[in-house]
Amino acid sequence: MSYNSILVQQKDAVSIITLNRPEKLNSFNSEMHRELAAELNRIAADQLCRVLVLTGAGRAFCAGQDLSEKKFAPGVVPDVGKSLDEYYNPLVRRLRGLAIPVITAVNGVAAGAGANIALTGDIVIAAKSARFIQAFSRIGLIPDAGGTYILTHKLGEMRAKAVSMLATPISAEQAEKWGLVWQVFDDETFMDDVMQLATQMSQQATCALGLTKQAIHAVSSNTYDQQLDLERRLQGEAGRTDDYREGVTAFKEKREARFTGR
């Protein structure tokens, strides 16, 4: 499929989506939303895709909503919530719910909803020069695209409030120290390093990785006992995969496992 606002590539089992409006720092217009949704739906249905990498073209990852599109008609009160219903909430739900690991490769500045989409990745990797900005308070909005949830869970209430209210840029290094980012890679070798990680993950037992993320996502709404029950159900599913048989067989035969993601 060909798109205008995103680039898509397939390298073996790794799908790469690049947000591609660099002159607007890859901010979202409705076309980019529609194209990204279509591509995520396609990837979800394609058994060959075993890891997704989401990144941005040029010097930004994504600057959130395209503000140059906004028009205020006299006497009309805007309903910003509609944009969350139509675009941002389905987008972050799709990313989080994808049954394969999602690596967000934060190549540069990530602001507004762009920051929170970046932080929705299962594995968040940042370039040294990247920064995360909860820019919403600067324009009279609140963090969206899951920002209040992610920030509070990962940073605690005090830091979540401070970075949201003050819109203080968080460097890649600080984000790594705070556990918002898994690893920081040098700018010069950034995409090569990301692809090495993505390729390695795509050769793992990716069904089990998908089930792992499902289990971990359920923790915040489950009791300990409910979580044990969920682990039992998901482990049952993992145990029925070809990859489980292959993993155990390879261990016994003292060789590398050849997983297929099935």
Which residues within the stretch 74-93 sit at the binding site for ligand T3D (CB under 6 A)? 80, 83, 88
Please say whether the beta carbons of 15 and 55 come within 8 A.
no
Stretch of 62-70, 171-179, 180-188, 240-248 contacting ligand T3D, by CB under 6 A: 62-70
Stretch of 33-41, 110-118, 153-161, 171-179 contacting ligand T3D, by CB under 6 A: 110-118
Tell me the C-alpha distance between 240 and 205, whole Å: 12
- Binding of residue 243 to ligand T3D (CB under 6 A): no
- Binding of residue 39 to ligand T3D (CB under 6 A): no
- Binding of residue 37 to ligand T3D (CB under 6 A): no
Long-range contacts of 41-46 (CB under 8 A, 24+ apart): 41/94, 42/1, 43/15, 43/98, 43/100, 44/94, 44/98, 44/99, 46/15
Question: What Rg do the C-alpha atoms of the chain give, in angstroms?
Answer: 19
Stretch of 35-43, 111-119, 194-202, 227-235 contacting ligand T3D, by CB under 6 A: 111-119
- Binding of residue 25 to ligand T3D (CB under 6 A): yes
Stretch of 8-16, 130-138, 213-221, 250-258 contacting ligand T3D, by CB under 6 A: 130-138
- Binding of residue 185 to ligand T3D (CB under 6 A): no
Nearest approach in angstroms of CB 185 to ligand T3D is: 20
**Out of 8, 37, 99, 141, the residue judged to bind ligand T3D by CB under 6 A:** 141
Stretch of 4-12, 60-68, 198-206, 227-235 contacting ligand T3D, by CB under 6 A: 60-68
**Out of 36, 55, 57, 64, the residue judged to bind ligand T3D by CB under 6 A:** 64
What are 16's two structure tokens? Answer: 């790469």
Measured from the CB atom, is 68 or 223 closer to ligand T3D?
68
Nearest approach in angstroms of CB 143 to ligand T3D is: 9
Tell me the C-alpha distance between 198 and 210, whole Å: 14
- Binding of residue 68 to ligand T3D (CB under 6 A): yes
- Binding of residue 118 to ligand T3D (CB under 6 A): no
Please say whether the beta carbons of 107 and 55 come within 8 A.
yes
Q: Which residues bind ligand T3D (CB under 6 A)?
A: 24-25, 27, 63-68, 80, 83, 88, 109, 111-113, 133, 135-136, 139, 141, 144
